[in-house]
Amino acid sequence: MSKHDMNQGSTTPRRGAQRHHISFKSKSHGWLRHNRVVALDALRRMFLTPVATLMTLAVLAVSLALPGFLMTAVNNIQQFSEGFDANPRIALYLKTSVSDARAEQFSLELMLNPALSGVELIDREKGLQEFSSYSEFANLLELFDTNPLPAVVLALPLDHSPHMLQALQSELLALPEVEEAQLDLEWIQRLNAYVVLAERFSWVLSALLGLAVLLVVGNTLRMLLESRRDEILVAKLVGATDAWVRRPFLYSGFWYGLIGSLFAIVMVSFAIHLIDQPVTELMSLYASRFELEGLGFKGGFTLMVVGATLGLLGGFLSTGHHLREIEPDDR
Amino acid sequence: MAAIQFLNVGKRYSEGHDALIGVDFTLESGEMAFLTGHSGAGKSTLLKLIMLMERASRGHVLVGDEDLGALPRRLVSWHRRRIGVVLQNHQLLFDRSVFANVVMPLEIAGYAPEDAARRVRAALDKVGLLNREKHNPITLSSGEQQRVGIARAIVHKPQVLLADEPTGNLDPELSEGVMRLFEQFNRIGTTVLIASHDLSLIHRMRKRTLVLKNGRLVSGV
């Protein structure tokens, strides 16, 4: 292994990297080996102080789980609202005084309206059937001698722009047979607006909690750095580069972020499990075949990448300036 | 060829105190010299300039033809790998074994583990501590600790070996042993510079002696 020999005692002047007779291949091997050793050592050090490590990880996990949970929730609501027909409909509740035949005639007349793409009549008999099959209040109907439900005509407008819909709504409301004209889109539009708001909200919250992750990792690593001060001094004295000294702390940050995010995934999955049943019950009321979705592979993977990246970044930020200040001085 | 060269070097600390004034000397490659003077005369400052733990305020410090004043920060670590240093407070790490302490310069330079282990044992053998490699340095006597420090300083076969009061807290017999050790390394070609105020010991060694007084080099040039 003579190629590893330093050029000790030589009289020929040499400069720069030539002086080290360590080949590039052996150097890159050394680099990889050092990374592996340091990565494992950083992990091992976490287990040396299990309580402190667990506390830190718990804080990180909560900070990561909250955005993870919110994003999942928003995602689910989006899925839910997409499940509905986004085509606007105007439900025309006819006056009870309008006879079945007249209702039929009325719906046929509406078909000639050029602003409508389609018309569907739900006559009083059909309305009664649907009401009793879908509603828990079916037995209420027994209290009535006659069918209390009005005939309903569902009109599908061609133009979906809000003001045209509103104009059409009032136009149809003005018809003598119509008791009430309800624009069906309103609640879904409102829901969509709420979803957008919730999404924004969860982004803002995620950013704040991401900052919390950075600070927690940064603070933890600064304490770790302080506890290894002597080692850093000696390493610098015998020729360690800044990168070499910094590496263990970057790995520590990485592990904190990664393991914290794994804990967070467990938390989110548990939370979703907790609300799964009530949500399913609620959805059955809406006659929806909606199923609650968890984080999934993509969500979990994203959370891990975000966690590890934030940890690494925390390592960079907390050690960068501080490490330069620690310089060997024998006094 | 000069191993260490000081050209009109001055060092003034920010408080305005002049630690070194107009220091001029050359240490040839393979030479061994002592650096002495009363405490506060600038011995440690001079060594720190060579280690780039401090930078000169004036003049030039050259190590192996490299002007340290022109050396960018990122090459400081490379520069330090050419030098072995033994400090009075030997700066051993007590959270690891003797072996782990001595192997540090090799790990940092990227030696393969087997190669590094062989070199660490050779270095420990030279200082007579081969059977202590698994011990924690805190269990060793101060003389033994100092020798661990020396093993760490020479394990990567530096071109230059510096020592700051290496016998500071050792009894005369141990001190003599440590000095003979430095002499051995010098005999195989290492340039050695030792700061010490142990005048009787320095006289016995019969080497070139640089004397600092209030930051000026007054003898040995």
Per-residue pLDDT of chain A (331 residues; tens, 9 = 90+): 344 444 444 444 444 433 445 666 666 777 888 889 899 999 999 998 899 999 999 999 999 999 999 888 888 887 777 766 567 788 888 888 888 888 888 888 888 888 888 888 888 888 878 777 766 666 777 777 777 788 888 888 887 777 788 888 888 888 888 888 888 766 767 777 888 888 899 899 999 999 999 999 999 999 888 888 889 989 998 989 888 999 999 999 999 999 999 999 999 999 988 988 888 888 777 656 677 888 888 889 999 999 999 999 999 988 887 777 777 764 4
Does A229 fall in a domain? yes
Of A183, A201, A232, the one marking the end of a domain is: A183
CA distances from residue A171 to A118, A175, B19, B53, B126 in whole angstroms, order as listed = 16, 7, 97, 88, 105
Tally the domains of chain A.
2
Residue B198: closest CA among B174, B173, B165, B221: B165
Q: A39-84, pLDDT tens digit by residue?
A: 999 999 999 889 999 999 999 999 999 999 988 888 888 777 776 6
**Do A208 and A311 fall within a single domain?**
yes
Q: Given this model, what pLDDT does residue A159 score? A: 78
Predicted pLDDT of residue A181: 86
Are B111 and A231 in contact (CB < 8 Å)?
Answer: no
The confidence score (pLDDT) of residue A83 equals 63
Greater model confidence, B221 or A247: A247
Q: What is the CATH number for A109?
A: 3.30.70.3040
Task: Verify that A148 and A250 share a domain, yes or no.
Answer: no
B83-96 residue pLDDT tens: 999 987 768 999 89
* Structural domain boundaries enclosing A146: 90-183
The pLDDT value recorded for residue A86 is 60
Which of helix, strand or coil describes residue B158? coil
The CB density around residue A266, as the number of other CB atoms within 10 Å, is: 13
* Residue at a domain's end among A161, A183, A205: A183
Those residues of chain A whose CB sits closer than 8 Å to some CB in chain B are: 1, 4-9, 11, 13, 15, 17, 19-20, 22, 26-27, 29-31, 33-34, 230-231, 233-242, 244, 327-331
Verify that A178 and A194 share a domain, yes or no. no
Confidence of residue B124 (pLDDT cuts 50, 70, 90): very high
Task: Tell me whether residues B112 and A29 touch, CB distance under 8 A.
Answer: yes
Q: What local confidence, expressed as pLDDT, does residue A137 receive?
A: 67
User: A236 and A113, same structural domain?
Assistant: no
Q: How far apart are CA A89 and CA A129, in angstroms?
A: 21
Q: Give yes or no for a contact between B160 and B4, defined as CB atoms under 8 angstroms apart.
A: yes
One domain for residues A215 and A75: yes
Query: Residues of chain B whose C-beta is under 8 A from some C-beta in A?
Result: 1, 29-30, 44, 48, 51, 53, 64-66, 74, 77-82, 85, 87-89, 91, 93, 95, 104-105, 107-113, 115, 152, 156-159, 164, 188-190
Average pLDDT score over residue span B128-150: 91
Q: In this structure, is residue A252 part of a structural domain?
A: yes
The long-range contacts involving A295-301, CB below 8 angstroms and separated by at least 24 positions, are A295/A68, A295/A72, A295/A265, A295/A268, A295/A269, A299/A68, A299/A71, A299/A72, A299/A75, A299/A268, A300/A265
Q: Which residue has the tokens 């430095």?
A: B182
Mutate to test the interface with B, among A5, A36, A238, A326 (most CBs of B within 10 A): A238
Q: Is residue A13 part of a domain?
A: no
Last residue of a domain, one of A183, A207, A228: A183
User: Are both A37 and A143 inside the same structural domain?
Assistant: no
Neighbours of A33 (CB within 10 A): 14
Q: Is the pTM of this model over 0.90?
A: no
Q: Which residues pair with B192 in a beta bridge?
A: B32, B161
Based on the fold, state whether residues A229 and A167 are members of the same structural domain: no
Q: Which amino acid is at A180?
A: E
**A-chain residues near B80 (CB < 8 A):** 236-239
Domains with residue ranges and CATH for chain B: 32-41+75-220 (3.40.50.300)
Q: Which chain A positions have a beta carbon within 8 Å of B164's beta carbon?
A: 330
pLDDT at A85: 58
